[in-house]
A and B are shown apart, each in its own frame.
Chain A
Amino acid sequence: MPVFVSALLCSPTLLAEDHPDINSDINPNINRYTSNRERMPGPGIPPPVDNRPDISDYSLHRERSFESDASTPPAIDVLDMEVVERGGRYQMKIVAVIRAPAPYVRHVLADFQHLYRLNPSIVESEVLGCNKDGLVMVRTQALGCAAQFCEVLERVECVYLLRSGDIVADIIPELSQFRSGKSYWWIKPIGEHTIVGYRSYMEPEIVVPPVVGKFLVKKSIKQQMLITFTNLEKIARAHAARGLPRHSHFMDVCRTPEDKFNIYCVRGR
């Protein structure tokens, strides 16, 4: 569906024209963190709490999400961010410091049942299948907007949870509105904080007007990456404050894989 048609169907309140200038949030001084590493307390990661948490205290200090409060600048410390477009293929990269311990950050990124929490633009999400090797098939529909023009893009990905803790996701073009795409998340603990990197390329099947359209799409992608990372930090900190839930990991509710899972994710691996 051309973006102009879909714009008529979409809410005009979506995009963050009123978000702060993204570029001002980039901090290229990554060495600041690596040099501070010795001064930070050891691993120091609190073990998950098994008792039922008392959240009453936490809820008093509840913060509003970045997405819903556009006047609040993102709290995360972005070390590097870039979006490049070449021939309809978008390459994106973001590296940021997440102020939460790595196990909780990893838990949030691998919590495919709650992907909708990471970014409001994920308007639909579903785990289509998974196996005990850490292979998951995920379907998402994301609302992508450039200025007032919006498009819902569906994608189905095979997600691999690597032994290193990093995550790789391959888009299945046959089941997606993308000609191709691959994403890579890496997670590096630094004391009680975590450096998270995201690198991806995607080739969406959308019509984007040249020059201004591509500029707006790139700007939108940057905003969405910031929203995702801000929410990632918020959710990881919430988990860290109360301990990981006992039975929430997707492997505990792993559905019987559909045929599509075996065809596209297992055999295609």
Chain B
Amino acid sequence: MKYYRHMIRDVFAVCVILVAFIVSGCAADRVIAYRDDIEPVLRQKCLECHLPPDGEGYISTGLSLQSYDALMDGTMFGMVIIPGDSRRSVLNKLVEHRAGALKGMPPGSEKALTDEEIELFRLWVDQGAVFN
């Protein structure tokens, strides 16, 4: 009897772990949509400075965030997104403050991205940074 109780407990534990894996796997597989997830954040927190022709960020780097194509064109110094590779993409480096505190984007704390928004950017770039 005691043996069966142990076995039931072990099976239950395995089931819980499996469900947790499945749930976390589904969450990781969520497809990030540029139009629904990325563009609203860019418009709300970045576009003011990266709007041609007078935006400060546009003047200093040439990065326009008016459209997906403009974002993918990058700055006059190079592209800001390497599709599939958020670790090496400049956009992710800057919003994650990996290029020093002074170079974090957006500058200042008023429009700082939330952790969720930073994660959205990371997932979107890792998923190929497609226009969807």
* Inter-subunit contact A13/B84 (CB<8 Å): yes
- Partner pick for B60 among A14, A64, A245, CB 8 A cutoff: A245
Q: Which of A35-43, A50-58, A257-265 contacts B (4 or more CB under 8 A)?
A: A50-58
A56–B64 alpha-carbon span in the complex (Å) = 11
* Inter-subunit contact B88/A52 (CB<8 Å): no
Q: How far is the CB of B52 from chain A (nearest CB, A)?
A: 7
Question: Which single residue of chain B is at the shortest CB-CB distance from A61?
Answer: B76
* Inter-subunit contact A116/B93 (CB<8 Å): yes
* Inter-subunit contact A58/B79 (CB<8 Å): no
A50–B21 alpha-carbon span in the complex (Å) = 58
B87 at the interface (CB under 8 A from A): yes
Q: Which B residues are CB-close (under 8 A) to A242?
A: 76
- Partner pick for A55 among B76, B84, B103, CB 8 A cutoff: B76
- Partner pick for A117 among B64, B78, B82, CB 8 A cutoff: B78
B108 at the interface (CB under 8 A from A): no
A88 at the interface (CB under 8 A from B): no
- Partner pick for B88 among A58, A59, A121, CB 8 A cutoff: A121
Tally of contact residues, A, Cβ under 8 A: 35
* Inter-subunit contact B102/A65 (CB<8 Å): no
A13–B58 alpha-carbon span in the complex (Å) = 30
A114–B59 alpha-carbon span in the complex (Å) = 16
* Inter-subunit contact B62/A58 (CB<8 Å): yes
User: Which secondary structure dominates chain A's binding surface?
Assistant: mixed
Q: How far is the CB of A152 from chain B (nearest CB, A)?
A: 9
B74 at the interface (CB under 8 A from A): yes
Q: Which A residues are CB-close (under 8 A) to B58?
A: 55
Q: Which of A95-103, A123-131, A196-204, A214-222 contacts B (4 or more CB under 8 A)?
A: A123-131
Q: Which of A161-169, A176-184, A187-195, A231-239 contacts B (4 or more CB under 8 A)?
A: A231-239
Q: How far is the CB of B28 from chain A (nearest CB, A)?
A: 15
A68 at the interface (CB under 8 A from B): yes
* Inter-subunit contact A11/B90 (CB<8 Å): no
Q: How far is the CB of A251 from chain B (nearest CB, A)?
A: 13
* Inter-subunit contact B76/A67 (CB<8 Å): no
Interface residues in B56-99 (C-beta closer than 8 Å to A): 58-60, 62, 64, 73-74, 76-79, 82, 84-85, 87-90, 93, 98-99
A55-B62, A56-B53, A113-B102 are contacts. A234–B84 as well, Cβ < 8 Å?
no
* Inter-subunit contact B77/A143 (CB<8 Å): no
* Inter-subunit contact B78/A52 (CB<8 Å): no
* Inter-subunit contact A231/B78 (CB<8 Å): yes
- Partner pick for A120 among B53, B82, B84, B126, CB 8 A cutoff: B82
A113-B102, A120-B82 are contacts. A62–B53 as well, Cβ < 8 Å?
no
* Inter-subunit contact B82/A127 (CB<8 Å): no
* Inter-subunit contact B102/A253 (CB<8 Å): yes
A235–B59 alpha-carbon span in the complex (Å) = 15
- Partner pick for A238 among B77, B100, B103, B126, CB 8 A cutoff: B77
Chain B contact residues, CB within 8 Å of chain A? 52-53, 58-60, 62, 64, 73-74, 76-79, 82, 84-85, 87-90, 93, 98-103, 126
Please, could you name 11 A-B residue pairs with CB atoms under 8 Å apart, sorted by A? A113-B99, A114-B103, A120-B90, A124-B99, A125-B99, A126-B100, A126-B101, A127-B102, A143-B88, A238-B62, A238-B76
